C-alpha cells in the first residue's frame, strides 16, 4: 500500500468501527421487559433503552402508573411501549402478562429483573437490628427479589428458548458481594437490611446457574451489581459513603444506565454468566 493511501485506509477503518459501535448499541424494534419499571431507576432505564429504539414493557404493581409512563415513552421516543400492573411474585399473573407481551410483539428480546422490595428499613431506636428483624420484611424481599426473578425468568426464558435467542439481566448489588458496612450509616437509624443483602447475593449465583443452563441456546444471562446511587441522602451518609469509594463520589443514574445498555445490547454479545460490579471502586480495596 502506498504511503499516501494510509490516511484513507485508516479513516475508512475508523468509520467502519464507528458504524459497528452504532449497530451494537442499536436496539430499534427490540422488546424489553423491565420489572420495577415505575421506580426511580426503572424509569431512567426505560428512557435509556427507548432512546436507542427499544420497545420497553414496564412491569410494576400500579397499572395506571405503568400505562402512563408507557404513553410518555411512546410520545417522546416514537417507540411502542406498554405498561402492565403485575405482582411478579404471583405465577399466574406473570404467565398471563408475559403471554400478553408475546401476543403483542411476537417475541421478547430482553428481560431486566430490576424490581426489588424496600431496601432501607427504619426502626425506632435501632439500626435494623437483626435480632428483631421482622419476618414479613424478610419474606417480602424473598418474594420479590428472588421468587419474582425466578418466575419472570421461567416465563420469559421459555419464550426465548422457543425463538432461539434472548438476553436476561438481573440487577444485584455490591451488598450481594461484600458485607454491608455498618459504619457508614452513623446515627441515622437507617440501614440496608439483611434480607436485601441475602437476596442480592442469591441473584448472582442464580445468574450463573441460568447462564450455564441455557448455554448453547443463544441466551445470555448476566448480573449488574451497582454501588450506592446519590438520591439526596443525608450529608453525613454521603460523606461516609464517598470516603469508601476510590472515585470519591456516589453513583449517578448515568453510571448505571450505560452499564445496563451495554449488558443488554449486542455490545456485550460475548458476555454471559458474569457479575459486573459498578461501584466506584468500593469493593476493590
Mean per-residue pLDDT, 72-97: 98
Check residue 172 and report its DSSP letter: -
Q: Is the pLDDT of residue 202 over 50?
A: yes
Mean per-residue pLDDT, 26-43: 98
Q: Which residues contact 270 (CB under 8 A, 6 or more apart)?
A: none
Supply 55's cell numbers. Answer: 420497545
**What are the pLDDT digits (tens) for 152-197?**
999 999 999 999 999 999 999 999 999 999 888 877 667 788 999 9
Domain boundaries, the chain: 26-78+87-118+142-181+193-230+251-279
Q: Which residue has the higher pLDDT, 128 or 203?
A: 203
Three-state DSSP class for residue 1: coil
Q: Which residues contact 59 (CB under 8 A, 6 or more apart)?
A: 33, 34, 35, 36, 37, 66, 84, 86, 88, 97, 115, 152
% pLDDT > 90, the chain: 79
Identify the pLDDT of residue 124.
44
Identify the pLDDT of residue 191.
79
* Cα(101)–Cα(49) distance, integer angstroms: 17
Query: What's the CATH number for 26-78+87-118+142-181+193-230+251-279?
Result: 3.40.50.720
Beta partners for residue 84, in sequence order:
59
**What are the pLDDT digits (tens) for 230-274?**
999 989 999 999 999 999 999 999 999 999 999 999 999 999 999
Identify the pLDDT of residue 78.
98
Identify the pLDDT of residue 9.
57
Q: Which of 7-21, 95-109, 259-273 has the lowest mean pLDDT?
A: 7-21
Pairing assessment for the beta strands 219-226 and 110-113 based on DSSP bridges: unpaired
Identify the pLDDT of residue 187.
72
**What are the pLDDT digits (tens) for 44-78?**
999 999 999 999 999 999 999 999 999 999 999 99
* Cα(68)–Cα(37) distance, integer angstroms: 12
Helices (H), the chain: 6-25, 40-51, 63-77, 91-105, 135-141, 149-163, 194-213, 235-244, 253-264
Mean per-residue pLDDT, 32-40: 98
Check residue 143 and report its DSSP letter: I
Mean per-residue pLDDT, 28-55: 98
Q: Is the pLDDT of residue 204 over 90?
A: yes
Classify residue 64 as exposed, middle or buried by CB count within 10 Å of its CB (0-12, 13-18, 19+).
exposed
Q: Which residue has the higher pLDDT, 143 or 190?
A: 143
Q: Is the pLDDT of residue 2 over 80?
A: no
Average pLDDT over the chain reads: 92
Amino acid at each position: 500500500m502506498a504511503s499516501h493511501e494510509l490516511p484513507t485506509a485508516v479513516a475508512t477503518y475508523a468509520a467502519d468501527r464507528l458504524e459497528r459501535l452504532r449497530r451494537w448499541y442499536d436496539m430499534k424494534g427490540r422488546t424489553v421487559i423491565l420489572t420495577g419499571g415505575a421506580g426511580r431507576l426503572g424509569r431512567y432505564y426505560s428512557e435509556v433503552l427507548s432512546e436507542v429504539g427499544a420497545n420497553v414493557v414496564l412491569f410494576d404493581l400500579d397499572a395506571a402508573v405503568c400505562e402512563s409512563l408507557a404513553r410518555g415513552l411512546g410520545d417522546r421516543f416514537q417507540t411502542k411501549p406498554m405498561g402492565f400492573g403485575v405482582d411478579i411474585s404471583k405465577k399466574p399473573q406473570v404467565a398471563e402478562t408475559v403471554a400478553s407481551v408475546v401476543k403483542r410483539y411476537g417475541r421478547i428480546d430482553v428481560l431486566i429483573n430490576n424490581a426489588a422490595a424496600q431496601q432501607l428499613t427504619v426502626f425506632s431506636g435501632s439500626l435494623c437490628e437483626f435480632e428483631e428483624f421482622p419476618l414479613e420484611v424478610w419474606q417480602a424481599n424473598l418474594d420479590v427479589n428472588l421468587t419474582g426473578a425466578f418466575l419472570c425468568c421461567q416465563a420469559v426464558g421459555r419464550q426465548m428458548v422457543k425463538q432461539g435467542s434472548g438476553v436476561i439481566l438481573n440487577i444485584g448489588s455490591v451488598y450481594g458481594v461484600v458485607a454491608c458496612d455498618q459504619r457508614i450509616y452513623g446515627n441515622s437509624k437507617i440501614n440496608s437490611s439483611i434480607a436485601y443483602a441475602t437476596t442480592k447475593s442469591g441473584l448472582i449465583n442464580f445468574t450463573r446457574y441460568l447462564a450455564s443452563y441455557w448455554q448453547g441456546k443463544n441466551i445470555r444471562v448476566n448480573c449488574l451489581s451497582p454501588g450506592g446511587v446519590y438520591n439526596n441522602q443525608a450529608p453525613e451518609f454521603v460523606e461516609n459513603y464517598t470516603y469508601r469509594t476510590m472515585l470519591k463520589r456516589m453513583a449517578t443514574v448515568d453510571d448505571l444506565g450505560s452499564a445496563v445498555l451495554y449488558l443488554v445490547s449486542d455490545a456485550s454479545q460475548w458476555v454471559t454468566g458474569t457479575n459486573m460490579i459498578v461501584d466506584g471502586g468500593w469493593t476493590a480495596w
